[in-house]
């Protein structure tokens, strides 16, 4: 889909490419859920792609794409999201938001192991994104104060991930005795369990610029002071970025079951035609990839 996406196409054409490839080359007759093929401002709509918003926007040069699609194989689901620029090259704003999310994605995976509380992983993702946005002068102030006021939920209003199995949102997230948190962002978590060996769970941090969430933050005299509204304005029509992988929890850590280009330079190289996955015997330079 990355390689064939280009300005002028329709979102549903990207969906059809995925459906065809999954069936023809992966023997996957069904998807795990309705494909989310969002570009431009649509990428800030968390479950875009349903009947009322049917992946029908025209792709424009300069858009980011957020492709949340998963094939079903032998009744088991997958749930994967890739975000990338339609024209194949990240601009500075796109790279800023994308790298903030990627850093959160990688931080969570590096901390995952049995016994870790999922709510702590969600907070780690929020904190990492806020730190990255602060470094880029999009927000300012004390990160701990932002976390206390739950400002991470302004940029990431959904939960970090969910159990995955025969159902995309597999049951078991809230066994008897566990109550769903009430705070913004945390209330959207589909589980707050401790990780256990053998679990399969998605890691899907995101960063979005959603007017319906930014307006109340701006109107709040305390929360508003943390935002650089002049910078925020530059991202008004940005939409959002989400990066999602499927993780298997092992005895010592976790295994990432998702093999997609994730670094910005990997994505740009793949969209330019470089093979994926890269051959282990070929160096980055030989494969047309930068050394760093």
Residue 188 DSSP one-character state: G
Share of the chain above pLDDT 70, in %: 96
**For the chain, what is the mean pLDDT?**
95
Joined tokens for residue 63 = 């858009």
- The predicted pLDDT at position 267 comes to 98
Residue 292 has pLDDT above 70, yes or no: no
85 touches 65 (CB < 8 A)? yes
Domains, the chain, ranges and CATH?
Answer: 2-274 (3.90.230.10)
292 touches 25 (CB < 8 A)? no
Residue entry with tokens 């990492």 = 128
Joined tokens for residue 87 = 């024209």
If you average pLDDT over residues 22-38, what whole number do you get?
A: 96
- The predicted pLDDT at position 281 comes to 46
CB-based contacts of 292, cutoff 8 Å, min separation 6? none
Residue 199's beta-bridge partner residues?
Answer: none
83 touches 66 (CB < 8 A)? yes
If you average pLDDT over residues 125-149, what whole number do you get?
A: 98
pLDDT tens digits for range 81-120: 999 999 999 999 999 999 999 999 999 999 999 999 999 9
Helices 118-135 & 92-111 angle (0-180, nearest 10) = 150
If you average pLDDT over residues 267-287, what whole number do you get?
A: 77
pLDDT tens digits for range 174-194: 999 999 999 999 999 999 999
């Amino acid at each position: 889909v990355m390689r064939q996406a280009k300005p002028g196409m329709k979102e549903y054409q990207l969906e059809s490419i995925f459906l065809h490839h999954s069936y023809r080359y992966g023997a996957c007759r069904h998807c795990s859920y309705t494909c989310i093929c969002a570009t431009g401002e649509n990428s800030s709509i968390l479950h875009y792609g349903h009947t009322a918003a049917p992946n029908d926007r025209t792709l424009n040069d300069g858009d980011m794409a957020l492709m949340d699609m998963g094939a079903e194989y032998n009744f088991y689901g997958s749930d994967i999201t890739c975000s990338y620029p339609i024209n194949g090259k990240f601009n500075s704003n796109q790279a800023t938001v994308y790298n903030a999310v990627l850093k959160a994605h990688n931080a969570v995976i590096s901390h995952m192991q049995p016994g870790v509380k999922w709510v702590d992983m969600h907070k780690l993702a929020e904190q990492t994104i806020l730190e990255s946005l602060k470094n880029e002068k999009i927000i300012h102030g004390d990160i701990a104060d932002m976390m206390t006021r739950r400002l991470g939920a302004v940029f990431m209003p959904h939960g970090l991930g969910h159990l995955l199995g025969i159902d995309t949102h597999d049951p078991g997230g809230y066994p008897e005795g566990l109550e769903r948190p009430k705070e913004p962002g945390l209330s959207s978590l589909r589980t707050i369990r401790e990780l256990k060996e053998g679990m399969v769970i998605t890691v899907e941090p995101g960063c979005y610029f959603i007017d319906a969430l930014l307006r109340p933050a701006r109107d709040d005299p305390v929360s508003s002071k943390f935002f650089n509204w002049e910078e925020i304005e530059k991202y008004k029509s940005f939409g959002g970025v989400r990066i999602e992988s499927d993780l298997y929890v092992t005895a010592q850590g976790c295994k990432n079951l998702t093999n997609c280009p994730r670094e910005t330079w990997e994505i740009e190289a793949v969209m330019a035609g470089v093979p994926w996955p890269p051959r282990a015997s070929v160096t980055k330079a030989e494969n047309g990839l930068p050394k760093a």
